[in-house]
A and B are shown apart, each in its own frame.
Chain A
Amino acid sequence: MLEGKGIVKRFGGLVALDAVDFTVQKGTITGLIGPNGSGKTTLFNVITGFYRLDEGHLFFMEKSIERKSPHEIAKMGIGRTFQIVKPFLSMTAEENVAVASLFGREKHGEAYRDARKWIDFCGLEHKRNILASELTLVEVKRVEMARALAIKPELLLLDEPLAGLNPVEVNEALAIIQKIRSDLGITIVIIEHVISAIMRTCDEVIVLHHGAKIAQGSPQEVANSPAVMEAYLGRAFARSGSMNASAHVSS
């Protein structure tokens, strides 16, 4: 469904993405992990058109998307949320989502009715008419998710949806993410640092390190990959044996 070939993104002398090849299969939940500064969010920004890639090719449903601007990408069916949340602060939760219903891909009746549906889907039915500026971070993240769903995407990119959430909220958010895939059939890519959540939820994991892809596979394969252990734990630790990387990283 989404395919990147030899993606290179440079900021001046810094190579943020170094010849990254990756694929995302339709109907899967794919985790995108890696230490801080490894290029995860940069990859999202390249896919959604906020950054122009310097080299390489990007295909979404067999169509080239590397020269499209963010609003065109949205219209093609890629929704996203932001690591640093970007709600429409002076609008209510419902209005936030209604904007996406109005400008999204296909019309399903009245925009506000559509918006209410997505607000409820994300478990915010009691917060519909609250201004985004008065919502908690957890709620704003849900609003962003509802807003991304309201454009009727085929592919949803979630940038750290679990950061700053307590364990109960993490479980609620994961339930919503699984519901998005099972009920709506939307393919999902998640950037996340909560490795235990990635291991439980994802079918496939991509690991970035210093802008290069060092592993892609099932969560178990990736957890046992020496390159991944080295990136997360250092060379000495990685050499000491076949421990479960996920347990160490998440503790």
Chain B
Amino acid sequence: MKLIHVFVVFSALLASLAVLQTPTFVLVFLAVTFMYVGFSESWNLVGGYIGYLSLGHGALFGVSAYTVAILWNFYKISPLITPFIGAFFAMLVAICIGYPTLRLRGYYFALATLSLPLIASGLVNSFPDVTLAGRGIPNVSPPEIAFLLRPNAYYAMFLGYMILCVLIAYKVENSKFGHGLMAIREDEDAAAVCGINATKMKVEAFMLSGFLTGIAGGLFASYLTYVSPSSVFGILLSVTPVLMTILGGRGRWIGPVIGAITLDLLRNYISYSVLSVLNSLVLGVVLIVIVLLAPKGIYGVITQGVMRYVGRKGHS
């Protein structure tokens, strides 16, 4: 039995929580965790498989969130449909920024993407008629879903979103496309010599990543019923999927799953039981510890441990 089968079976079991009488706080907590798993998995397509450290995925997330909010506010189009329109716009933005920036290597790409949420935030503030600027857009809520059913409905939607993202990452990892992305990560010149069109593949991966990130953004806007520049274009939202993926192990589909669940549990535990102001401090400490002690993340530590154990058994 492969890990991906375990994941699918486990997700199917989780789906039953939506129809059972599950306490609301459990549903709400899990829904947000699922969103982060999917969001991190989207980031992993660029940051993990091609190894391009994007620090601006919040911009893609926010473009879609604002699309959903504006379409509801002005045209009354249901936020249940618009996440896909938002995702489409996020994908267009990904093409526009990916085409020039993906030619940059290493730190330069990270710096270029870091500026994206700042630019997006500036744009939002310059069109207050449409975006209500810093105040944000309130009341973004699908009328089809009754108030009482909201936790269950969003739980199911985010669960579906997570499964979609994980299955796509799994598919990519075991495909020709994925092999190309990983070859580009290892050495772009050598990849070109093998017949890989690196620029084209990088932009394609960024497009896919942008689309999947956009779905999360669109769903999140109607889940929170509110979008503002600080909620989607803040640095924290852009850095979270980076942290989660690196914590779990980047360049593997399982990495973001492990990382997002671990980090979300950790920071909720700290918020509720210790002191909420320590939250971002803990994120910082986690990042430093991981980078120093386990650059391949939790999954890397586990596989190394297993290999050492198997090796020892083999010798004795």
Among A12-20, A73-81, A175-183, A213-221, the stretch in contact with B: A73-81
User: In whole angstroms, what is the CA distance A105 to B192 when docked?
Assistant: 13
Which of B182, B183, B192 contacts A70, CB < 8 Å?
Answer: B192
What is the number of residues of chain B that contact chain A, defined by CB distance less than 8 Å? 17
Complexed CA–CA distance, A151 and B179 (Å): 15
**Once the chains bind, are A99 and B179 in contact (CB under 8 Å)?**
yes
| Interface pair B193/A79, CB less than 8 Å apart | yes
Q: Are B187 and A87 in contact (CB under 8 A)?
A: yes
**Residues on the A chain within 8 Å of B194, using CB:** 71, 74, 99-100, 103-104, 147, 150-151
Say yes or no for A102: interface residue by CB 8 A criterion: yes
Residue with the greatest number of chain B CB neighbours at <10 A, chosen from A87, A100, A105, A148: A100
Q: How far is the CA of A151 from the CA of B192 in the complex (A)?
A: 11
Which of B69-77, B81-89, B195-203, B208-216 participates in binding chain A? B195-203
Contacts of A99 in B (CB 8 A): 179-180, 182-183, 191, 194, 196
A50–B186 touching, CB < 8 Å: no
Most buried by A among B179, B194, B196, B197: B194
Q: Are A70 and B176 in contact (CB under 8 A)?
A: no
Residue pair A74, B192 in contact (C-beta under 8 Å): yes
Q: How far is the CA of A86 from the CA of B189 in the complex (A)?
A: 8
- A88 vs B136: C-alpha distance in the bound complex, in angstroms? 47
Majority DSSP secondary structure for residues of B touching A: helix
CA distance A209 to B191 in the complex (A): 31
Asked if A59 is an interface residue, CB under 8 A from chain B, the answer is no
Q: Quick check: is A233 within 8 A (CB to CB) of the other chain?
A: no
> Is there contact, CB below 8 Å, between B193 and A88?
no
- A48, A71, A91, A111: the one within 8 Å of B196 (CB): A71
Question: Is residue A90 within 8 Å, beta carbon to beta carbon, of the partner chain?
Answer: yes
Q: Is the CB of B195 within 8 A of A86?
A: no
Q: For this complex, into which size category does the number of interface residues on chain A fall?
A: 20 to 34
Interface residues of A in 30-89 (CB under 8 A from B): 48, 50, 69-71, 74-75, 79-80, 82, 86-89
Contacts of B192 in A (CB 8 A): 50, 69-71, 74
Which residues from A are CB-within-8-Å of B176?
102-103, 111
Say yes or no: is B190 at the interface (Cβ < 8 Å to chain A): yes
Contact residues in A for B183 (Cβ distance below 8 Å): 88, 91, 99
Kindly list chain A residues whose C-beta atoms are within 8 Å of the C-beta of B190.
82, 86-88, 147
Closest-CB distance, B181 to chain A (whole angstroms): 10
For B198, list chain A residues within 8 Å (CB): 71
Contact B193 A104 (CB under 8 A): no
Whether B195 and A105, one on each chain, are in contact in the complex, defined by CB atoms closer than 8 angstroms, is: yes
Residue positions of A touching B, CB distance < 8 A:
48, 50, 69-71, 74-75, 79-80, 82, 86-91, 95, 98-100, 102-105, 111, 147-148, 150-151
CB pairs A–B below 8 angstroms (15 shown): A71-B193, A74-B192, A82-B189, A86-B189, A88-B187, A89-B187, A91-B183, A102-B176, A103-B176, A103-B180, A105-B195, A147-B190, A147-B193, A150-B194, A151-B193
13 extra A-B contacts, CB within 8 A, seeds A82-B190, A102-B180, A151-B193: A74-B193, A74-B194, A82-B189, A87-B190, A88-B190, A91-B186, A95-B179, A98-B179, A99-B180, A100-B194, A102-B179, A103-B194, A148-B193
Q: Chain B residues in contact with chain A, CB under 8 A?
A: 176, 179-180, 182-183, 186-187, 189-198
